[in-house]
Amino acid sequence: MAGNIKVVVCKSSDEVAQKAAGMFIEQVRNKPTSVLGFATGSTPEKTYAEIAKLSKAEKVSFAKTISFNLDEYWGLDGDHDQSYRFFMNDKLFKSIDIRPWNAHVLNGKAKFPEVECRAYEDQILSVGGVDLWVLGIGNNGHIAFNEPGSPVDSRTRLVSLTQSTIDANSDGRFFKDPAEVPRCALSTGIGTIRDARRLVLLATGAKKADAIAKAVDGAFTPDVPASLLQDHPDCTFILDADAASKLKK
């Protein structure tokens, strides 16, 4: 292994979700005022369902937590059904007691993107930084919308999506047609993500195996944005067997 990344391999995507949700529940139980980081995409959906279930069953309240999401499509309103604000409200926020004004998602319709991005960074700083941030990974190794080539010290900004990401997000799960996918997004940077005290990256399925192997066992390089987590002091990858299948033994 090239860096400090801890790898946990699970038997199924259900087990990935249980482990990841368990980390969030423990985090909030131990520190009710936790600052949490969330991600969108197919991978964390089960984790969010599990967090909602455990929060009720174990009476762990999110009322004092604050959250920040990784990214948002540029040009989409929060009530567009493919916006990440809509996704988060639907998959998680409506099912836990986090206060809506504490659940931050970048505004894809902001008039001045630079101002929106700077304010987002300031908000994260003003609450003391993120305690635990969950991430997904793209087939091309991206984290958030930090596509290959994104600098290690990048901050929240307006970015362009690669064709591989546009295709991955219009394969029938989200957008029906690549032409509908916004070409740009507001995304937290690699530096923003690396500032979180604890990171957990989730990946399931064979399509992610190459990106995972490069991120964990390959070089520390902006060509594989997730590899830039290798020197993070507390970063865990929770994988199913397929996503882990190309890792060095």
Separation of alpha carbons 203 and 73, rounded Å:
22
CA distance 209 to 213: 6
CB of 170 to ligand PGA, least distance (A): 12
- Among left, alpha and beta (phi > 0; psi -120 to 50; other), residue 216 is alpha
Give the nearer residue to ligand PGA in terms of CB position, either 60 or 225: 225
Are the C-beta atoms of residues 151 and 159 closer than 8 Å to each other?
A: no
The nearer residue to ligand PGA, 124 or 135, going by C-beta atoms, is 135
Least Cβ distance, residue 128 to ligand PGA (angstroms): 26
Q: H helices within the chain, ranges in order?
A: 13-30, 45-57, 84-91, 113-126, 163-168, 190-194, 209-217
Cα angle 178, 181, 182; round to 5: 140
Q: How far is CA 8 from CA 39, 144, 202, in A?
A: 19, 21, 10
Taking the least distance from each CB to ligand PGA, the nearer of 60 and 224 is 224
In terms of Cα–Cα distance, which of 94, 101, 102 is closest to 48?
94
Closest CA to 52 of 104, 15, 91: 91
Q: How far is the CB of 43 from ligand PGA (least distance, A)?
A: 3
Residues identified as active-site: 71, 140, 142, 147
Cα–Cα distance between 146 and 194 in angstroms, integer? 12
In angstroms, give the least distance from the CB of 136 to ligand PGA: 3
8 beta partners: 238
User: What tokens does 63 get?
Assistant: 């009322």
Cβ of residue 63: shortest distance to ligand PGA, in angstroms?
A: 28
Q: What residues make contact with ligand PGA under the rule CB under 6 A? A: 41-43, 136-138
For ligand PGA, which is the closer residue by CB, 60 or 138? 138
Name the residue whose CB lies closest to ligand PGA: 41
Rounded distance between C-alpha atoms, residue 150 and residue 194, angstroms: 13
Q: Between 137 and 239, whose beta carbon lies closer to ligand PGA?
A: 137
